Structure 1
Amino acid sequence: MVFVKEENEEDSSEPEPWRIKHEENADLSEVKEESKELSKELSEVKEESKELSEVKEESEELSEELSEVKEEHVKPGEKPLSRSKTKNKFLKKRRAKKSTTCTQCGKSFTNNHLDVHMRVHTGEKPFSCDQCGKSFAQKIHLKVHMRIHTGEKPYVCAQCGKSFTNSSHLKSHMRIYTGKKPFTCDQCGKTFLRSSNLKEHLTVHTKEKRHSCSVCGKSFSQLQSLHAHQKIHTDVREYVCFECEKTFTTSKSLEQHERIHTGEKPYKCSHCDKRFNTSSNLKRHERIHTGEKPYKCSHCDKRFSRSEHLKAHERIQRSEKPYTCDQCGKSFSIKSHLKRHKKIHAVEGSGLESTAASMYM
C-alpha cells in the first residue's frame, strides 16, 4: 500500500522561522569576525611592506654611500683602500650625517645616544634596582650595580687573581703592575694611577676643605675622609680581620692589614725590585730614588720627604711638646723620643740607671 502525502500536511523536516533567523545572525557574526581578522592581517602586511621598502631604500642608500667613499679615495696611480679602511671611512661619514646636537650643552650624538645623554639634563633614571631601589640613567649601570647584590666579579687580574665587578676597576688595578700613571697634575706635574687620586691631590694646591667634623671641627677636602674620621668619635669599627680579630673603621684599612697575613705586596718600585703592601709605602720609598721632598716647613725653607717628619719639625719650631711621660711628666716634641725616654723608667731600681742614661744620651 502506498501512502500519498497531502499538500496541507506539515513537513517536519523544514526548519522553523526563528531558527532560520538565528542561524543567519550567527553566519553574519562569523563573516564580520573574519572581516576584522582579514583587515588586521592586511594592516600587518602593509606595515611589513612599508618596513621592507624602508630597508630596501636604506640598503640602496648605504650601497650608494659606500660607492662614493670608494670613488673618493681611488685616484689614478693610487692603490684602492683596504676593506677595513674603506669601512671605517664610510662609518665615519655616516655618523656625521646621522649625528644630532644636544640643545642644552651643544654636544653631538647619534640619535639613540642623544636620548640617553638627555637624561643627564632631565635627571631621568628609568632603571631601578629591585633589591635596594637605587635608580640609574643607563641599563648597563644597573647591570654593573646588581653585581654588588649577587657578588659577581667577572673581571679577574691575570697577575694576582683578584676579581672586580667592572672592567674599569680591573684596568685601574692593572696599572699597579705596569707602573702607568696617566693622570697628571697641571700644578706640580705629579702623576697618579686613578683620576680620583688626582682629584683628591688637587685639594693640596687649592687648600679647600669643605667638609668639617661636627664634633671636633676638623676639616677635610674629601667627604669620605670625613666619614672615616667620624668613626673615631663613634668608635664604630665594623670591619673585622678573621685571622687576628683586629677591627678597623674602613674596608680599605682592613684590606691593607690583611696583606700582613697573606704576605701580598702588589706595589712594585719602578726604580728597583722592592715591593710594598700599600701604595703609600711605595710612594714614600720612591722618593729615595727621585729625591723628592714635597713637604715644606711654613716657618723656614727646610723640606721633607715625609709628612710626619715635617710635623715633628714644625712642633720643634713652635716649641710644642705634646708627648708627655706618665711617669715623670717630662714632655717631648717627637713620639719616638718619648718612647726612648720611657726605657729609663723601665730599668729603674735594677741598678742599671747608668745604662739607661747612656741609652737616652
Structure 2
Amino acid sequence: MTDQAGKTQTRRARWGGPAGAAFAALLGVLTSACEPANGLVRAPQTIRVDGSSTVFPLSEAAAEGFSIENRGGVRVTVGESGTGGGFRRFCRGETEIQGASRPIKQAEMESCRQAGIAYVELPVAFDGLTVVVNQENPINSITVEQLRRIWSPESEGRVNNWRDVDPRWPDMPLRLFGAGTASGTFDFFTEAINGEGGASRTDYTPTEDDNVTVIGVIGNRGAMGYFGIAYYEQNRDRLKALAVDGGAGPVAPSATSVADASYQPLSRPIFIYVAAEAMERPAVRDFVRYYLTHAARLAPEVGYVPLPDAAYAEYLNRALAGRTGTAFGGEADIGASIEEVMARPLVDDALPAGE
C-alpha cells in the first residue's frame, strides 16, 4: 500500500439509527472471525520513504510492487518533500529511507552524525536533467553558456526576453519555472550550469512538484523549465525537450545519451539512503532487497536509466552488510559516468559523533 504524503484524503462514513447498529453488529462479527486466536489484531508495519520528487516515481513503483508481493503485510508510505527537506526529516529519525537526486551534503552529513544516524548510500538509477520549453517555441537546442545567461543570479531583472539571450531568437517574454531551493534538482542544476550549488536568479516560479512546471510550460509559449527526464517522458507529447550543447555539440536527453555519458553536464545518479538502524528490521531489509532486485526493470518503466546488474548486486551486498557512509564526500559529481560512480570508494564518515 502506498500513500503520497500530504496528498491522501480519508473519507469517513457516518451511520446512525437502526441501520448503523446493524452495520456495527455485522462488523463486529466479521472482525472477531478474522482475529487471531489470542484476540490480537496485527497492524501492518510501516516503512516511511520521503525526499526527492525525482526519485519519487521509482520509489513509488517499488513500494507498489513490494506491497503486492507481501500482500499488504508491510505499509510503505512514499512522500516527496524534496531532497533537502527529506534529509532534514531523515536526520531527525522521522523516516527510514530518503530519496535524493544528489549526494548527501556536508551539512546533512553532520546533522545525521550529531543525531546518531548512520546511513547506507545506494545509487538506484541515472537521470538526465531535461530542459523543456513550450511546443510552439522554435528553438531546438541550447548551449550551457546560454543556460547560464538565463539562470545566473546576475540575469535577474535583466534577461526577460528570449532575444536577450540570443538576438537570433524570437522576441518573446521569458517565463521561468524550476525546482524549489530545497530540491536536489535545484542544487545539481545550479552547480552544473552556474558553477555553484544554490546560485540562481530568484524571479522564477519555484516548486517541489514537477507537475507544476509541466503545467506552467504547457500554458505559456515563452516558458522554460527543468526537471528529471522521467517527467519529460510522461509529457513528451505536450512539451519540447531542448538538446544541450556541453561543448561537443547539441545532444538530446535520452536513455542512450545518459547511459553513454554524452548528455553533459546534466546526467546524474539518483539515490536512496537507508538508516542503518532501520536496516536491522526484516521488513526494511526485504523492501530494500525488492527495490534493488527490481530497479533494473522499474527504472526504464518510469523513465530513468538503470544501472548495470553488477552494480545492483554490489549495492544490495552493501545494504545487507550494513556498510555505511558516502562515496561522494558531500559534493555532487558533475559529469560523472555510470562507471565512474560505481568505481567510487565508500568512506564511512557518517558515523555518530564520538565514535
TM-score (norm 1): 0.16
Higher strand fraction (1 or 2): 2
Q: Which has the higher Rg, Structure 1 or Structure 2? A: 1
Give the structure, 1 or 2, with the largest relative contact order (CA under 8 Å, sep 6 or more): 2
TM-score (norm 2): 0.16
Higher helix fraction (1 or 2): 1
